[in-house]
Amino acid sequence: MTSILSVVGKPALINWAANTERALVIEAASNLWEDIPINGKKMSRTAYVATLTERIGKQKAHQKELAKAADIGSQVHALIEWNLRRELGQIVGPEPTVQDKAAWAFMSYEDWRKATKLVPVAIEQVVWSTQHRYAGTMDLFADVLIEPYGSCHVVLDWKTGKGIYPEALLQNAAYVQALIEMGHATTLVHGAVVRLPKVETDPEFEVRIITPEEQVELFKVFVNVKALWDWSQAIEAARKVAAKA
């Protein structure tokens, strides 16, 4: 699923990556300048570039930050899953160990789930569409109290980024459609993308409810995105064949 949605442009992420990389380079260059003795021999341009490159490292700054964020997100997901499975009486191992940021996000989730009287139905369930040829793992299918609709069947996605981005809505719609196609739900299924804060200074958790009517329109967009992904995959496959010829 995430592979398909990767074809969707992410201008905000591109800007963030560029700014993060710029900040890292400035910091590394400043530190190197401070480390050079004031009265020492001036470093050649080649030596300076080589030293700076070594200090910056091969991995891009935004990749490091994304890895940290992914780690926090994985920890929150694991802790939520562990607690939900235990609640359903399923066999679980030791409670996952999490960092402070992940623990903060989990506390926000706990507050929200109590307020919405969340009752889990299926956890980390793999769903697929034979008709449209895609598959993915939804975070949670549950009964949730949603105003003004009352108790609803809801497909939930947990997010720990800075915001809820449009492709998250497409992903949720695809999960719902697959769930319906598999016969596990009716057409009256809501979606909810829940953004969990990672630190105390983050904004309060954010919830984006997706109505069944919205799901229908969003899935139409997802089908078009899937067509674009299929096309790009075919182009890449043809390129590889041509390269081997």
Residue 64 Cα to chain centre, angstroms: 15
Indicate the helix (H) or strand (E) that contains 148: none
Q: How confident is the model at residue 211 (pLDDT cuts 50, 70, 90)?
A: very high
Query: Which secondary structure element, helix H or strand E, spans residue 203, and what is its range?
Result: none
According to DSSP, residue 155 is labeled E
The domains of the chain are located at 2-244
pLDDT of residue 200: 62
Cα–Cα distances in Å, from 243 out to 14, 144, 230, 238? 30, 52, 20, 9
Residue that wins the pLDDT comparison between 72 and 231? 231
Nearest of 189, 169, 197, 172 to residue 111 by alpha carbon: 197
Please state, in angstroms and rounded to a whole number, the distance separating the CA atoms of residues 151 and 97.
32
How far apart, in Å, are the Cα atoms of 150 and each of 77, 190, 206? 26, 11, 19
Query: Binning pLDDT at 50, 70 and 90, where does residue 208 land?
Result: very high
Instruction: State the fold for domain 2-244.
Output: Lambda Exonuclease; Chain A (3.90.320)
Which parts of 88-211 fold into alpha helices (H)? 100-116, 166-181
% the chain with pLDDT above 70: 81
Q: Summarize the confidence of residues 220-226 as an average pLDDT.
A: 93
CA 181 from chain centre, in angstroms, equals 24
**Residue ranges in 57-165 assigned as alpha helix (H):** 61-87, 100-116
Question: What pLDDT score was predicted for residue 20?
Answer: 65
pLDDT value at position 25?
74
pTM of the model: 0.72
Q: What's the rounded mean pLDDT across residues 3-15?
A: 65
Residue with tokens 């949730």, as numbered in its chain: 144
Which of 3-7, 44-48, 55-59, 220-224 shows the highest mean pLDDT? Answer: 220-224
pLDDT band, very low/low/confident/very high, at 54 (cuts 50, 70, 90): confident
Could you give the CA distance from residue 127 to residue 132 in angstroms, rounded to a whole number?
12
Give the model's confidence band at 62: pLDDT under 50 very low, under 70 low, under 90 confident, else very high.
Answer: very low
Q: Name the CA dihedral angle for 43, 47, 51, 52, rounded to a multiple of 10 degrees.
A: 80
Bridge partners (DSSP) of residue 68 are none
pLDDT in tens, 82-140: 999 998 888 888 998 888 888 888 888 899 999 999 999 999 888 999 999 999 999 99
